[in-house]
């Protein structure tokens, strides 16, 4: 796939600080975020989290219809927070800077209007797994492992893991995941409902491409509205109100007219995001 790329690091002088690259497919429909702090197992820091949020907001403002999130390195997706940095913080900075910054970044990802796919190709634990959980879909390698092991360190998941895991697998399974620090492989993660698909690492690209094509085949405005009203329904918003509003909005789009015409003509629709 041909891409255009935009890459910046959190600091110009220290490569170990990491970077968040943003690439677009040639048609502009797929944005790819690449978090790279591979020399430190892609551990997350406050500057890196801030840069991640900035990049997510750039995607939101773009014409992209889908976000793919991946990390650099061979065996590790992300092992979470940089312990050397957060373990020395006093309670107030821990609350104001570390926890809040992580929530801002991950919430921006979860609330992104475009659907998002995380490619979990290696170990994803703690904040690394919480990062993946903030995406709409997770495609995971059979060889990968995911876990929320924070209680074994003396703390708790701090970037939305308890909430998002509970939404996906229910209260009892979320407690099992967190309290026992259980690690799940790719097939187990799918069986639990924590991931969408699994495959050997060398075939992850095929699974991501398949899922991406299925999402991109839908009318962009309708796809993005559907994502938002599903999330709102999960938070208790009434579907009879939101579906009426969203349906009314889509009724005025050129894409609905195109979709109806394509159905009648028995052809694939050509959606234009209008």
* Residue 146, strand partner residues: 124, 184
Please tell me what DSSP assigns to residue 128: H
The contacts of residue 171 (CB under 8 Å, 6+ apart) are none
Is 134 in contact with 108 (CB distance < 8 Å)? no
Token readout for 273 is 């995001």
Catalytic-residue membership of 130 = yes
- How would you classify the pairing of strands 66-71 and 30-36? parallel
Active-site option among 26, 97, 130, 176: 130
> Alpha helix (H) ranges present in the chain?
46-60, 83-86, 91-93, 100-110, 127-133, 161-169, 171-179, 186-192, 204-216, 220-234, 239-251, 254-265
Is 206 noted as a catalytic residue in this protein?
Answer: no
**Options 90, 150, 202, 206, the catalytic residue:** 150
Q: Which of 103, 176, 181 is nearest to 145 (CA)?
A: 181
**What residues act catalytically?**
130, 150
């Amino acid at each position: 796939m041909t891409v255009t790329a935009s890459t910046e690091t959190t600091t110009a002088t220290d490569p170990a600080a990491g970077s968040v690259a943003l690439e677009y497919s040639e048609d502009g429909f797929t944005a790819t975020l690449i978090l790279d702090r591979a020399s430190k197992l892609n551990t997350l820091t406050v500057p890196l989290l801030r840069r991640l949020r900035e990049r997510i907001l750039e995607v939101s403002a773009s014409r992209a219809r889908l976000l793919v999130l991946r990390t650099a390195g061979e065996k590790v997706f992300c092992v979470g927070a940089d312990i050397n940095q957060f373990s020395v913080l006093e309670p107030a900075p821990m609350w104001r800077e570390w926890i809040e910054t992580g929530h801002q970044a991950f919430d921006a990802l979860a609330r992104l209007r475009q659907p998002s796919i995380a490619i979990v190709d290696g170990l994803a634990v703690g904040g690394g797994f919480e990062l993946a959980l903030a995406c709409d879909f997770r495609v995971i390698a059979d060889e990968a492992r995911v876990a929320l092991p924070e209680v074994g360190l003396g703390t708790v998941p701090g970037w939305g893991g308890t909430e998002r895991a509970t939404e996906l697998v229910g209260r009892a399974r979320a407690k099992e995941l967190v309290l026992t620090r259980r690690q799940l492989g790719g097939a187990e993660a799918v069986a639990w409902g924590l991931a969408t698909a699994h495959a050997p690492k060398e075939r992850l690209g095929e699974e991501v491409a398949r899922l991406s094509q299925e999402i991109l085949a839908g009318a962009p405005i309708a796809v993005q509205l559907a994502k938002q009203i599903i999330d709102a329904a999960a938070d208790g918003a009434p579907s009879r109100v939101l579906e009426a509003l969203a349906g009314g909005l889509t009724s005025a789009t050129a894409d609905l007219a195109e979709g109806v015409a394509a159905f009648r003509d028995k052809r694939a629709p050509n959606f234009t995001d209008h």
